[in-house]
């Protein structure tokens, strides 16, 4: 899943305001899904208005669809954005609030036949890193995601259209992120595909003492580990090196 931000303030500067030419390049490099986001969810970020998010996201979807039928995911918490995106041919809504922020989201996705990514976070982006605490982070995250998946199914979203994301960096301490990555098999026991998004995040930066621009190799190492642990989808900024990594793993471990 390749990240295509249409924002001026995402934490990794090179991922801001992604032009369609760059998205087509990511498709050529081997992206399986393009994830379009019009609202930054970095720590400290504020909500953007419906009007502003629409102006960022909807024209880009139209432009991509002029060139490619690649599966599109839209990273939004707003049902109105989701409705327009699905009408234009997006297939997945990636909701960091696990459909809690907008009460119309679940029924909308169900009616449209879309898929959904349900993510765990503690707090909201503007305050989520203000001293988060857990007693047993893996069990708490698993319980939250199981409940979110149950609600999605009760709203009419089929089980095979639900994806779970533990929310690396979303209201988590370094040790919480580490434990969730190590315990991907426990997340898999819930019975849904697992998405891991740790590309260039502070978890990598804390280990390497490096800014986002210098976290590619660390990201590749962590994503390799996540893939080996059973992650089904890797959400990444850098498609080509990840495609090559997965191709090598596929030949060594999953072929022949």
Residue 70 tokens, joined: 């690649």
Residue 192 tokens, joined: 């849904």
Concatenating the DSSP letter of every residue in 87-106 gives HTT--EEEETTTT-S-TTHH
Q: Which is the catalytic residue, given 56, 121, 161, 235?
A: 235
Distance between CA atoms of residues 41 and 247, nearest Å = 30
Select from 174, 126, 105, 171 the least CA-distant residue to 144: 171
The answer to whether residue 201 is catalytic is yes
Q: Judge residue 177's burial from the number of C-beta atoms within 10 Å of its C-beta, 0-12 exposed, 13-18 middle, 19 or more buried.
A: buried
Residue 36 tokens, joined: 């379009």
Select from 249, 251, 255 the least CA-distant residue to 224: 249
Q: Which is the catalytic residue, given 56, 121, 122, 201?
A: 201
Catalytic residues: 201, 235
């Amino acid at each position: 899943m390749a990240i295509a931000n249409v924002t001026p303030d995402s934490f990794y500067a090179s991922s801001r305001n992604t032009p369609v030419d760059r998205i087509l390049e990511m498709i050529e490099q081997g992206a399986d899904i393009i994830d379009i986001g019009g609202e930054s969810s970095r720590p400290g970020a504020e909500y953007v208005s419906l009007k502003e998010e629409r102006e960022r996201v909807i024209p880009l979807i139209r432009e991509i669809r002029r060139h490619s039928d690649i599966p599109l995911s839209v990273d939004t918490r707003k049902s109105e954005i989701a409705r327009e995106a699905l009408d234009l041919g997006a297939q997945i809504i990636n909701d960091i609030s696990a459909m809690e922020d907008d009460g119309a989201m679940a029924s909308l996705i169900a009616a449209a036949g879309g898929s959904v990514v349900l993510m765990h976070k503690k707090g909201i982006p503007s305050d989520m890193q203000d001293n988060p605490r857990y007693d047993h982070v893996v069990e708490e995250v698993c319980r939250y995601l199981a409940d979110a998946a149950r609600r999605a199914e009760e709203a009419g979203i089929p089980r095979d259209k639900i994806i779970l994301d533990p929310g690396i960096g979303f209201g988590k301490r370094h040790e919480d992120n580490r434990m969730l990555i190590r315990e991907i098999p426990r997340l898999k026991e819930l019975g849904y595909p697992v998405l891991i998004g740790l590309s260039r995040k502070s978890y990598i930066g804390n280990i390497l003492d490096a800014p986002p621009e210098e976290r590619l190799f660390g990201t590749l190492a962590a994503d390799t580990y996540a893939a080996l642990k059973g992650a089904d989808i890797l959400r990444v900024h850098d498609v080509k090196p990840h495609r090559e990594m997965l191709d090598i793993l596929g030949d060594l471990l999953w072929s022949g």
